[in-house]
Amino acid sequence: MREEREGCDVPSGIRLMNLLRARLAEIMDRERANRNAIHLYCTGSYWVAFERSAYQLRRAFPDSETMPMRLFGYPFPVVMVSVTDRSLRAYARAHILKKDEKDYKLLTVPGLPIAAYREWHAGEVEGLPASRLEWSDQAK
The answer, as to whether pTM is greater than 0.75, is yes
pLDDT over threshold 80, residue 12: yes
SS3 1: coil
Q: What is the pLDDT of residue 97?
A: 94
Angle between helices 12-32 and 51-60 (to 10 degrees): 110
**Tens-digit pLDDT profile for residues 88-122:** 999 999 998 999 999 999 999 988 899 999 999 99
- CB contact at 8 A, 52 and 34: yes
- At residue 3 the predicted structure's pLDDT band, cuts being 50, 70 and 90, is very low
**Tens-digit pLDDT profile for residues 43-65:** 999 999 999 999 999 999 999 99
State how far the Cα of 69 lies from the Cα of 131, in Å rounded to an integer: 10
